[in-house]
Amino acid sequence: MGCKVCAVNTVSTDGSCLKNPGGAIGWAWVNHDGSSASGGARSGTNQIAELTALYEAIVAHPGVEPLVIESDSQYAIKCASLWLPAWKRKGWVTASGSPVKNLALIQAIDRAISERQGPVTFVWVRGHTGNHHNEIADSLAGKAAREAAGVRA
């Protein structure tokens, strides 16, 4: 009999911004089991789109199974894993004392990670190099951004 809590969910995420900053954005996640979701907003930045993709992937995958999130955004991965604990400890300011950018979204990611029973790990993958799930996430995020902008795909 298999170990149900040992299964790992691996999810690829991506974000898109049509005219950075201020253009329509799209985000997407693609579970390696085939499920996916995407969405968009009329304005934002590429960083907001990438962070939103991480957040949406985390909240869409509750449970005790380990969750591995792949992203081609070093910024998003560093925000969610490397920098977040220090920012939180220092009262949400950077090492230079500046306020953390995209704070509400980063705090939402922090809450989502804390509320999830299973561990979350972030892995950087090189974008646009043929990584199947990353390419699907990229396509879905771009489509969502175009739809948010009112552009017919």
Task: Encode pLDDT of 40-80 as tens digits.
Answer: 999 999 999 999 999 999 999 999 999 999 999 999 999 99
Task: Tell me the whole-structure pTM to 2 decimals.
Answer: 0.93
Residues with a known catalytic role: 14-15, 50, 72, 128, 138
138-146: average pLDDT: 97
Question: Phi, psi at residue 125, to the nearest 5°?
Answer: -125, 145
Q: Which residues pair with 15 in a beta bridge?
A: 27
Give the C-alpha separation, 106 to 92, whole Å: 10
CA distance 92 to 94: 7
What pLDDT, on the 0 to 100 scale, is given for residue 4? 52
- Domains of the chain with bracketed CATH: 4-149 (3.30.420.10)
